Structure 1
């Protein structure tokens, strides 16, 4: 069933409000999460001269913005939850844009890499092709997009106050390929566990040079 514009606005508003109301708890609960495997996957696939310009999509309170900055890169965040925007600006010292997935306004051809860690699964499936094309346009030729999402069997809907879309590998590959990306690698997280104990699907994609 196609979601109407008012449905999409409600999904965005309620999901973002869920995060706004729990911003402090979320920051404390995720402060020590180790996503170094994901950051390394993005950086090693960028074929450019450092420092890289990186867009952290759904940057939350700014944990990964700080990491990219400490590594010497130019990191910019984009975040829909207003409380997280404030936190990320203060905690990271980086530029952070207050935009949600329904109202993205990204500069063309600016970024060497896009880092979308635990963010894109909040996009309703019908809107995902548009958003991916916007990300593709924001990357430089040859730029790289990293994503990590909780995987599923292509179901979507409300889950504990947040809207989520839970794609399997084949569906995610189809979305990304249709948007003009070329797959570089994918893996499941946390590493070193049996597949049924790896709820996260991570993947790395390149925008073609031409």
Structure 2
């Protein structure tokens, strides 16, 4: 499924996209720090055991907003981001451990996390790499662990300014997840309370 890119093109996609976030790290923090994603956090946590102390990977943590939320709820979040500046900001803002890893060069280990929270991040993974990225997330989850993803909807792949994106609707996204071994538990569109045509975000809760 999706496009095919050379090794050089994949490196360029990563370099330019991460470069955009590096150059705009401060303004990104100011523009997103107050976004309410409690619906998404609740969707992940409601599918997990109802206890504190869960090990959660914030996949594409940015400057650390959601790390703070998970920590405040009594869990043990770890951040991951390809931007060195974001990682530094996330450590400073949250006091949590943060991994500086690009999405296409992951080293997550095996059965480390109860849940993975990929909020507005995984759509940056090129289509030909998505199966590999999902497989590494699957392996990193504990048995019955939960993957939450939220990505812009669409049917396109390519550049939006200096950011690369791979946009999918539910049917295509579900195929990637199921091919990896995930079982979809739930999905919804955001923002809440609007007609579907005005809900650009697709959120999916999947289980290992």
Q: TM-score range by the shorter chain?
A: over 0.9
Count of residue correspondences: 206
Give the C-alpha shift of residue 196 in structure 1: 1.0
Q: How does 1:184-195 map to 2 (within 5 A)?
A: 184-195=185-196
Give the C-alpha shift of residue 49 in structure 1: 4.3
User: What secondary structure sits across from 2:13 in the alignment?
Assistant: helix
Q: Which runs of 5+ in 2 are unaligned?
A: none
Match of 1:23 among 25, 47, 51: 25
Q: Which residue does 1:109 correspond to in 2?
A: 111
Once the two structures are superposed, residues 48-82 of structure 1 have per-residue CA deviations (whole angstroms, 9 ceiling, x without a partner) of 64310000000000000000000000000010011
Match of 2:91 among 84, 89, 97: 89
Q: Which runs of 5+ in 1 are unaligned?
A: none
CA distance in 2 between partners of 1:100 and 1:116 (Å):
13
Q: Which runs of 4+ in 1 moved over 4 A?
A: none
CA distance in 2 between partners of 1:84 and 1:6 (Å):
25
Q: Which residue does 2:200 correspond to in 1?
A: 199
CA distance in 2 between partners of 1:65 and 1:18 (Å):
22
Q: Which residue does 1:163 correspond to in 2?
A: 164
CA distance in 1 between partners of 2:109 and 2:172 (Å):
28
Q: Which residue does 2:125 correspond to in 1?
A: 123
Give the RMSD, CA atoms, in angstroms. 0.8
Q: TM-score, normalised by structure 2?
A: 0.97
